[in-house]
Amino acid sequence: MTTSGFVAFAGRPNVGKSTLANAIVGSKVAIVSDKPQTTRRAIRGVATGPQWQLVLVDLPGVQRPRDALTERMQRRVERELEDADGCLFVVNAEQGIGPGDRFIAGLLRNAPVPVVVAVNKIDRADRARTAATLQAAADLELGADIYPVSARTGAGVGELVQRLISLLPEGPFYFDSGQRSDQSETVRLAELVREQILARTCDEVPHSVEVEIEAVEPRGEDLTVINAVVLVETESQKGILIGAGGRMVKAIGVAARRAIERELGGHVHLELSVRVRRHWRSDERLLDRLGIE
């Protein structure tokens, strides 16, 4: 007998949901950044054991919709929760429970699926702060089991995984046992490029950037040529990403190429360009093409 099912991650932006998904799966299925709203797609990570398969839906951070992009992110959160077998609500031990967490807890209080709470980033909080956050999480009155964890170090993750496995119904596996994500190759590659942009930019730039892979062309036995376009909304953002003498875009390209080579296991030639696409976050057709549902 095997069990399998879907567990949705809920939580406000930047509580470490993507890092926790990567820790549970055991490989990188979601990019990581200290910038809020890094995750724009409901990324499915797949963790498989001998008799179980846990499909993790790493949702965009719950927030008040402001434009077509965030409206799509919010709708995706709601749909995924409806279709899940359980929900993992992630909060930040370092920052404690705030209004955003209480807002999400209100949405989850009548959820049709069991809710488990992970108090993440305990490695960055002292014992008193962690204890206070654990108590505040209990005071949310979700009736949920609460697990202190560190996605970065792995502390407590094993116990959390066992609890999530217990939520799974009987059923066959949804994915091959070796598969770690349902993302397409082009989306995975685009996200690796975007991760390097997030690591090097600040202010409004991270939220105004998207990456589109225009071509992936194998050449020979050990070379892949990739054409990637970075979309921004203003000329000033383009100037920031290109940098003085092209140094910024070169640094992004070098780091992204190395990350992609680790992903593909071979040599990569990355051709990276920057284009202005005004108001792309409100362009429904473009959002469809980028796979942001």
Distance set, CA 127 to CA 124, 139, 159, 275 (Å): 10, 18, 19, 47
Over residues 227-239, mean pLDDT: 93
Q: 29 falls in which pLDDT band (50, 70, 90)?
A: confident
Other CB atoms within a 10 A radius of the CB of residue 110 amount to 6
Angle, helices 247-264/185-200, rounded to nearest 10 degrees: 140
Over residues 124-140, mean pLDDT: 96
pLDDT tens digits, 170-209 = 999 999 988 888 888 888 899 899 989 988 887 667 678 8
Q: How far apart are CA 268 and CA 247, in angstroms?
A: 20
Q: Which are the contacts of 162, defined by CB distance < 8 A and separation ≥ 6?
A: none
CATH superfamily ID and name for 185-289: K homology (KH) domain (3.30.300.20)
Torsion, Cα of 255, 261, 264, 266 (10° steps): 170
Q: Name the percent of the chain lying above pLDDT 90.
A: 55
User: What would the CATH number be for the domain defined by 3-165?
Assistant: 3.40.50.300
pLDDT of residue 87: 94
Domain 3-165 and domain 185-289, same fold? Reply is no
Closest CA to 210 of 293, 292, 285: 292
pLDDT of residue 163: 97
Alpha-helix runs per DSSP H in 55-98: 68-83
Over residues 162-167, mean pLDDT: 97
pLDDT tens digits, 252-289 = 999 999 999 998 889 999 999 999 988 777 778 877 77
Query: Model pTM?
Result: 0.75
Q: How far apart are CA 30 and CA 250, in angstroms?
A: 23
pLDDT tens digits, 47-85 = 999 999 999 987 665 556 667 766 766 676 677 778 899
Domain extents for the chain? 3-165, 185-289
pLDDT of residue 100: 85
Please state, rounded to an integer, the average pLDDT across all residues of the chain.
Answer: 88
Q: How far apart are CA 225 and CA 269, in angstroms?
A: 5
